[in-house]
């Protein structure tokens, strides 16, 4: 009679366990541990995987200077988070799906860095203002060369988690020739959103800020616009306005400041002076924008942020896309160099004041920004638009 090898193994295993009870007990306990631990290991593995998707770090962001204008859509995993309400500016808890990269973080990516360029001041009539004689090199004075432009730096940093932005607007003393090592700071203007009266932003890196100036009678409205065709190029136009002495409510344009800037790398606190390495040049005395390029009928896609009287210091994202047709007239415009313009005008009903700026970034295409104030000089709304001239259609 012949037995299979499996039968021999079974008989041997039984004899071994009978002769060694300790070994039998150990084998029994070990098998129990295996039976219970395998599901736990599988559960733990599965749980950690889901936990990583739900609570882990965000997915890698897009390229550092990714640009989407004037707003973006993102899909993400749903989780509970505390957000800033885009209308009330109050913190509220939401269980709605949150994007992997929220709007402020995307804005922070696109606005942060070293922005170098040139800046100039203009009168309310649009005439460039010369630099103070005390800062102009003697060689220029001897040859009666007029200097209108400051070489500037604007190191900017937006904190992705604290919803704050800070920058330093630095003016460098003019130099003769290529004297990069001789560049000296003339002034530094520190700004932070914690001191702004309001702040609106687009994920593209564009923003609008209203700043108090010294007393209660002056405001500075800053419009920062990113070139949709070149994410490393931007303009900042600052409209300085004051309350009319007669009414103490209506705003009157005092002057305009213009900065043309190029991105020069990640934020470095402005430690490296631009000198001759800067890629742009002065513009203040170049020809102003031709009115024929700006006036007429335009189709605008507008993103909007609304404000209320109690929203001092509020930070809002411009959202939505409202398509409207507008007509721009030359009499309302203050034409500036470098395809730029601005305006301050009353609404037809006289109840609102509109402070606007625009940039013709290519023929027939412009980006604009408008602040709408009530008759008592309270900010009501900010719009950022991308416009197309209808005559070009």
**Tens digit of pLDDT for each residue in 321-351?**
999 999 999 999 999 999 999 999 988 887 8
Q: In this predicted structure, what is the pLDDT of residue 17? A: 41
Reduced to 3 states, what is the DSSP secondary structure of residue 175?
Answer: coil
pTM here?
0.74
Judge whether 120 and 257 are in contact, CB under 8 Å. yes
Q: Do 105 and 160 form a contact (C-beta atoms < 8 A)? A: yes
CA distance linking residue 70 with residue 159, whole number of Å: 20
Domain range list for the chain: 107-392
Q: Are 159 and 174 in contact (CB under 8 A)?
A: no
For residue 187, count other CB atoms closer than 10 A to its CB.
11
Mean per-residue pLDDT for 155-162? 94
Is residue 270 left, alpha or beta, with left meaning phi > 0 and alpha meaning psi from -120 to 50? left
DSSP 8-state class, residue 133: G
Fold of the CATH domain 107-392 = Lipocalin (2.40.128)
Confidence at residue 45, expressed as pLDDT on a 0 to 100 scale: 35
Judge whether residue 58 has pLDDT over 50.
Answer: no
Locate tokens 């295993």: which residue? 13
Closest CA relative to residue 366, chosen from 344, 392, 388, 382: 388
Read off the pLDDT of residues 214-259 as tens digits, 9 standing for 90 and up.
777 899 999 999 999 999 999 999 999 998 776 656 789 999 999 9
Q: Would you say 389 and 292 are in contact if contact means Cβ atoms under 8 Å apart?
A: no
Max Cα distance, the chain (Å): 124
Query: Among all chains, which residue has been given the structure tokens 């290529």?
Result: 178
């Amino acid at each position: 009679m012949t037995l299979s090898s499996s039968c021999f193994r079974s008989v041997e295993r039984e004899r071994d366990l009978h002769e060694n009870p300790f070994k039998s007990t150990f084998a029994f306990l070990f098998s129990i541990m295996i039976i219970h631990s395998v599901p736990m290991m599988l559960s733990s593995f599965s749980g950690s995987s889901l936990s990583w998707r739900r609570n882990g770090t965000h997915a890698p962001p897009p390229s550092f200077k990714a640009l989407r204008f004037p707003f973006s859509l993102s899909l993400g995993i749903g989780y509970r988070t505390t957000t800033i309400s885009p209308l009330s500016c109050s913190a509220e808890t939401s269980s709605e799906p949150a994007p992997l990269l929220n709007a402020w973080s995307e804005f922070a990516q696109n606005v942060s860095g070293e922005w170098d360029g040139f800046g100039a001041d203009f009168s309310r009539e649009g005439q460039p203002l010369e630099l103070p004689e005390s800062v102009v090199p003697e060689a220029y004075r001897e040859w009666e060369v007029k200097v209108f432009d400051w070489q500037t730096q604007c190191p900017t940093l937006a904190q992705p988690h604290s919803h704050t932005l800070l920058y330093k607007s630095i003016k460098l003393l003019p130099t003769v020739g290529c004297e990069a090592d001789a560049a000296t700071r003339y002034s530094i203007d520190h700004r932070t959103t914690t001191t702004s009266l309001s702040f609106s932003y687009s994920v593209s890196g564009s923003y609008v800020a209203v700043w108090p100036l010294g007393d209660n009678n002056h405001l500075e409205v800053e419009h920062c616009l990113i070139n949709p065709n070149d994410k490393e190029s931007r303009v900042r136009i600052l409209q300085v306005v004051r309350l009319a002495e007669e009414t103490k409510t209506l705003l009157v344009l005092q002057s305009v400041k213009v900065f043309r800037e190029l991105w020069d790398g990640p934020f470095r606190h402005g430690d490296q002076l631009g000198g001759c390495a800067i890629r742009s040049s002065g513009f203040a005395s170049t020809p102003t924008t031709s009115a024929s390029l700006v006036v007429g009928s335009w189709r605008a896609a507008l993103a909007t942020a609304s404000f209320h009287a109690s929203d001092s210091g509020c930070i809002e994202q411009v959202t939505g896309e409202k398509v409207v047709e507008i007509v721009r007239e030359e009499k309302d415009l203050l034409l500036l160099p470098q395809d730029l313009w601005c305006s301050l005008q009353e609404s037809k009903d006289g109840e609102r004041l509109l402070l606007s700026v625009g940039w013709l970034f290519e023929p027939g295409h412009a980006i604009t920004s408008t602040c709408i104030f009530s008759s008592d000089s309270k900010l009501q709304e900010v719009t950022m638009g991308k416009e197309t001239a209808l005559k070009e259609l």
